[in-house]
Structure 1
Amino acid sequence: METITPQAEKVRRAWRVAENDYKPIVRRSEECMRYVLNDPYTATEKSKAQEFDKPLLKYTIMIPYLSTIIGNEQMNRRRALIKTRSLDTKMIEMTDILQGRWNAINDEQSVEEKIQIIFSDALIFPVGGYMVRSFEMNEMGYLDYHYEIADNMRIKVDPETKTSDYKLEKCRWLIKEAWERPEYIMDRWNVKQEDFDDYKKGNWWKKLSGYIKRFKESGFSSSSDYNEENDLYRILEMQERVQKRFVRVFNGTGVMQIPQEMYKRLKPKTILI
């Protein structure tokens, strides 16, 4: 049986810390959503009300408040404008190209509508709302921005992150949770076609090694990490902010910054005479 790598164990420890810290926040978020849906009562309270033939009160006051705040945000929103201070014709043309592409991305991916959704999530849920921006290759073969709404219940950030740090600029790490089928896992780890054929025959686990194999053979196969009924595995993806020291040096023509490790290798040795 293969041992768990230090990197995987680090992710698991961070996940356990964040999960314990987020339990009351998630419960509160679920309660807030029930109030928004006019269903704030538990199953026990509903059965009691039905037993004694009592009506359940509905708190509809939250919806008008939310609609007013969201409406004000929509009216005051302005699309970002890209401008240049240069009077050079080439710079002006480049700025127009960037502005046009940014407008196209907003229209193609409905970015403003997605911002409205995560804004609503932030108003309703204590866990907040998240939008993920990544680079993906478009049909023309160029890297382009891709915006998508993340499942706010599946994201856990460092408990030491401040509430005011909504941009996560000083967040040390965050973990995204997902439940995926073996097909996705095999594709993600570039498994060969013959391994995929063996999977169909029911022998796929005999050939897969490394990370996927440990799902079956170690603590990853516990009931909390593996859904046997639906054949789903818990996937934890951790993003960590790494800090590196840089040294500012003069290279003869200008000032540049290089990593400290590179500076130590390039630094001339001192010779004592």
Structure 2
Amino acid sequence: MRRTRALRALTGAVLTGFALLAAAGTASADDPSASPGTGRDGDGAPAAAGTTFRLATQIRQGERAAAEGSAGDYFYWVFPADAGQRVTVTATVKLPESAGRQGTSRWRIDVHDGLRRRQACVHGSQTKAAPADAASVELSCTLRTVRAWAEPWSDAPLPGSYYVRLTVVDLPQRDLGLPVRAEIEATSVDAGGAHAVDGRLATPLVPLTVTGPERDDRDSSQQEQDEQQEQDEQQEQDEQQETAEAAGAPEDGWSSGWWTDRWLWTAAGGLLTAFTTAAGYSLARGPGRRPGAPPRA
């Protein structure tokens, strides 16, 4: 009898322990901050950066992203920008302790459009040096106003994806590989109808940031396997294309169209012209004759 009770107690303890472990595992899986493989922190902001254009990390405007890396790495992010927006990209690089650094480092931030053309910065510190005792370095780049349409030969910024590349361009050889933390944020302001143009881009410059795997040629004996593999790759590529296009568009969609606040100024100008014309006509006609007054000689 005692042996049976002891066996039951031991079995109950083991089952309780398994239940607690399962509950802890479920809670850990549900907690976004407990799964580093997602590439996002507890607030949902990206916590990693790509290493090439094709692997750039998708971010949204107004979202502060961060990434851990080493001095000498390339950090890539991509975000959407629409017509009429004047975009400013700011980056902060937090450097390791000065005791482990040998000298001054120089950091640079570049912004490319969807065609991977480097866009000029009209304001901000695109390149900045960090002394050996500096704890961080801040960079910024303000682009020209995004246009709704431009000539093919022009390098004007157009609606679509914009890539941000952050890297160090000069540092002592011994400082290569030191751990750094990069934080980046893209914001924009509405430039207004003064920068509007009479045109619209047919398709935003949103190229695919991810491509499907390349398929190798096979022997004729593996034709069925080739067909199945091709179907799987095509399906995967379609899913990646939909994801990339959805991630590359603003949350409210592309707003490039015919409406700008220039229409308000045009209407106000028309009303002012009509009022001025009526006032000028009244002054040129002179005072009218009073009712019952005799006609002038």
Give the structure with the higher percent helix.
Answer: 1
Q: TM-score, normalised by structure 1?
A: 0.20
Larger gyration radius, structure 1 or structure 2: 2
Higher relative contact order (CA 8 A, sep 6+): 2
